[in-house]
Structure 1
């Protein structure tokens, strides 16, 4: 399809290669989604009856999240935990998107600001910690199941796998329903919801809703971007196909398959390196200057050919004697995509916003990966570097909420690589942990919409403080934005003290900053274990919740890597600094009573919930970590 025709026809063209059998589509009516049941000649031997299977279903939720990658998981969990009945729709049999076993991309974030940035917390950290407890062997297929467990254990969240949202049913500029096809059950599912969040990357639902979007690269002039091309064009960064190998302990032969594409390294850029080739080569990729979605299957076939061509070069060129005993152990069949549609919000994030560290009053997330723009031609243009690392950040940048909802569809938000940003900005913010922070932000915003019966734009205009406060309470971090929740009774305590202190000040636990920033200490650390922290109120207060943020060493990354790296920057085990066991007591009428006890804590954000109790003081007794000799806290909150 020609580029002009694609953009003229818009999202309808994208459905042409969809997965629905015998379906005609119309945004006007869900009735048109049913295939012709009169031709279904079902004879049930068990009952001896003929009939037609009922494969249509209509369901209703408060929030519908489309796409089960890191962004979608965090959006759905945030919405569910904040009180919205939520559905998560994922078109694959596993969760995780690019980080799943189908693609096996490292779940990076701000970790390439080496030693200068503290990694992402909140829901994405919970997922990575859950993996450290449940997947010590660092298996990608097991990671699929860890993420599955993380989602299905949420009581307010419904998961639909193998399900694609293929069309939006509209009422004016509002999405009324998402029409979905579940391949495994042959079901046509209509999902009704007041709020939709498209975290699917390609954004088919948003496109069929008529949400404005663009593809390709902006020219320098539009946003005054240093690293943009002189003139706009259609190029999008390519998708990559990965593989991994195994040392068999003896020489292993390799013969390429029939579809392999011969690879020669002659004339290649010196930056096109083979380091760590045994765990995959990220520059086996193909971009597009036109409709990258329509070309996906053609490019997948070519990528499989290039993958085997490169492996043939490694095994049989004679340049890699260290590969003699290696054999392919896993090869990807689903390319990991970097770029396609970018939807337009009330604000378009650009290069200069990032490199200039622009402050946004509506900041809800942060990033810091390099401006890492991959060579548009990919492996078909080997004379150029595989990526242009245009700019390396020395500190993190802010990301605004106004870039996370649609400019022209009233009840639609996004998170991930499809948000409102330029191509150059995407080269940094596309990293999965950054996308996950956006996901937690829009999921939280969705619940604010439902509680107040408002739409996302009104959250930006009138409720941004409430959104930021809830994100901070839920252990997200927002640069330059300390917490100041007026409902937090810990801030009203007349006295706070600790049994011992080695670093920091116990008063830091209520200063609104839950991490150490720019060499400023915002923690309290004990001298040894068996330590306690105590808060006192002159007038007794009624409490039902106490929440703590402990230390998980956010200067060290805990994502799963194929090389199982374990050094000062990466850890492949449970952080030893994390608090393991603790007890909460309350002073009631002069006597200490037990309000809660945790023996196997597995999160940075620790929550105690109990029946309303009138106390004049609380005491947090901390008895064990996962290996550190001292315990460190960053925050204490108390709520009625």
Structure 2
């Protein structure tokens, strides 16, 4: 198929021309090409029987999440934890998407705010903290296994690796089933679910469902975007291929492979620099003005050729004597995609929504990475800068729920770079930790859909408060939206006080804002350890759950980096501020009763569950952090 034919022939033709073979016909009367195969003469020596293998399983779930990157993991875990039987379908042998060992992109988020961080909390922070405990050596292959552990330990969640959702089976405007090809088992699964969430980036399942989408760059006029081109075009930001090297302690020779494309740097823009080349060069990038998905294999070969050409230049041009002892120790073979399909929701997020910090009544996530428009031609246009501009935000922006579900497929949601947004908006929100926040939002929304037997649009119209409150209870942060859960008994306490205070106020723990932000203090901090917080009720209340949010220093990033930074903005260890050991007590009939103890806490959100007591006071005793002399809290909640 010619590249331009993609836009004339539509979705079905695009799929047929892509890298996934059309190995079945789901709704037609013709034979199944893979499984109706009379020439399969399987003779099993153990049983002495012949037959055709039956590899067409059917599985039923409440929620099916497609794509196991940061967005998909957070969507699936949120769905499972909130009560939906969930399946996570990932087309690779590892989880993590661009952050996996296959691609090794730093899991960035809002760490680009005018030189300060405002890190994401919730499920994505749990993953990064889990990695800090289990992967002190900062190995990307071990990070794969950390993420695997994080997913498979959830009792309500099924993981399917090496599996791609290749076609949606429709029932009116709903997806009834996803047909999923598992390459390692030769199985074609039929996955039935009430709600589907496409976090795969490219969005093949969503495209086959008929969900509306667009590709390319909007012109300035459509959304009044300052940074958009004057006229709409088809350009999409390219994919990059990364590598890393190590110092061998002696001179190491390098000879490029046969397919390398020679690189000279002649006429290159000054901003195409070689700083930090030891850990990869992100501008080894190739984009497309047409069908970037169908061009993937061609671009992959180009990127491998360009990468080795650039490394040959570094090693053999004589301009980099500091590279004499360096040898490649890892080279990516799977390019890291930035952009392809963007599906259309009830709202299309645009540049001005971000730069003007517009408030959304249905805000469920936030972002703040700079608007970052890459050179569409990538390394094939070296006379231009690799990135045209960075519009740096001073504070975070909101992201609305209406951009996270399909306009025309009623039980389909999205999270990640394929959500409803313009090309310029994507240049900021495509960052993985921002995508993860969207994932937690839609995974949580999916459970509301199932509990109430409704569809995503109705969640946004009638149950957005319920969604926002659950997200914040689960430690997601929504800018300018304090938590107001009417079931939280802590807010009804007649008194709350600390044993000592060095900063903040104990009353901040029930103000609904779970971090210090925009210059406002929302914490209580002790003066030393052992420290206590106590809540008092004049009339006894029934309590069975106590939840608190401790300090993990969200002003400092904890994602894994190849250069293992440990400075004001980046930390490569477990945050010293985090609470490690604590216990809680309840006052029953005038006597203090032990309710729970934790000696090795590993999360910001700390939960105690116990048999219901009728109490007039709850006391939290905090005895140890991971290194700080004071303990800081941001929230306390109590529930019956």
Deviations 1:368-408 (A, max 9, x none): 11111110000000000001224111111110000000000
Q: How many angstroms does 1:19 deviate by? A: 6.5
Q: How many angstroms does 1:29 deviate by? A: 8.2
Show the counterpart of 2:484. 484
Cα separation, partners in 2 of 1:130 and 1:436, compared to 1, 3 Å: same
Instruction: Determine whether 1:343 maps to 2:340.
Output: no
Show the counterpart of 2:196. 196
Q: Is the 8 A contact 2:248 2:326 kept in 1?
A: yes
Q: How many angstroms does 1:3 deviate by? A: 5.1
CA distance in 2, matches of 1:25, 1:540: 64
Q: Is the 8 A contact 2:395 2:518 kept in 1?
A: no
Q: Is the 8 A contact 1:175 1:412 kept in 2?
A: yes
Show the counterpart of 2:571. 571
Q: Is the 8 A contact 2:69 2:95 kept in 1?
A: yes
CA distance in 1, matches of 2:228, 2:115: 29
Write out the 4+ residue segments of structure 1 that deviate beyond 3 Å after TM superposition: 1-4, 17-22, 26-34, 114-117
Q: How many angstroms does 1:32 deviate by? A: 4.3
Show the counterpart of 2:40. 40
CA distance in 2, matches of 1:28, 1:423: 37
CA distance in 2, matches of 1:601, 1:7: 53
Q: How many angstroms does 1:539 deviate by? A: 1.2
CA distance in 1, matches of 2:231, 2:402: 26
Q: Is the 8 A contact 1:203 1:341 kept in 2?
A: yes
CA distance in 2, matches of 1:117, 1:102: 27
* SS in structure 1 at match of 2:148: helix
Q: Is the 8 A contact 1:21 1:35 kept in 2?
A: no
* SS in structure 1 at match of 2:281: coil
Q: Is the 8 A contact 1:364 1:441 kept in 2?
A: yes
Q: Is the 8 A contact 1:528 1:630 kept in 2?
A: yes
CA distance in 1, matches of 2:22, 2:143: 36
Show the counterpart of 1:220. 220
Deviations 1:386-433 (A, max 9, x none): 012241111111100000000000000000000000000000000000
Cα separation, partners in 2 of 1:475 and 1:30, compared to 1, 3 Å: farther
Q: Is the 8 A contact 1:405 1:413 kept in 2?
A: yes
Q: Is the 8 A contact 1:30 1:179 kept in 2?
A: no
Show the counterpart of 1:360. 360
* SS in structure 2 at match of 1:13: helix
Instruction: Determine whether 1:448 maps to 2:442.
Output: no
Deviations 1:146-166 (A, max 9, x none): 000000000000000000000
Show the counterpart of 2:150. 150
Cα separation, partners in 2 of 1:123 and 1:27, compared to 1, 3 Å: farther
Q: Is the 8 A contact 2:548 2:607 kept in 1?
A: yes
* SS in structure 1 at match of 2:482: coil
Unaligned runs of 5+ in 1: none
Instruction: Determine whether 1:495 maps to 2:495.
Output: yes
For normalisation by structure 1, the TM-score amounts to 0.98
Q: Is the 8 A contact 1:28 1:170 kept in 2?
A: no
Q: Is the 8 A contact 2:109 2:434 kept in 1?
A: yes
Q: How many angstroms does 1:11 deviate by? A: 2.4
Q: How many angstroms does 1:13 deviate by? A: 2.5
Over aligned residue pairs, what C-alpha RMSD do you find? 1.3
Q: Is the 8 A contact 1:117 1:396 kept in 2?
A: no
Instruction: Determine whether 1:302 maps to 2:295.
Output: no
Unaligned runs of 5+ in 2: none
**How do 1:150-169 residues align onto structure 2 when only pairs under 5 Å count?**
150-169=150-169
Q: How many residues align?
A: 640
Show the counterpart of 2:7. 7
Instruction: Determine whether 1:55 maps to 2:69.
Output: no
**How do 1:356-505 residues align onto structure 2 when only pairs under 5 Å count?**
356-505=356-505
Cα separation, partners in 2 of 1:27 and 1:395, compared to 1, 3 Å: farther
CA distance in 1, matches of 2:300, 2:318: 28
CA distance in 2, matches of 1:379, 1:310: 10
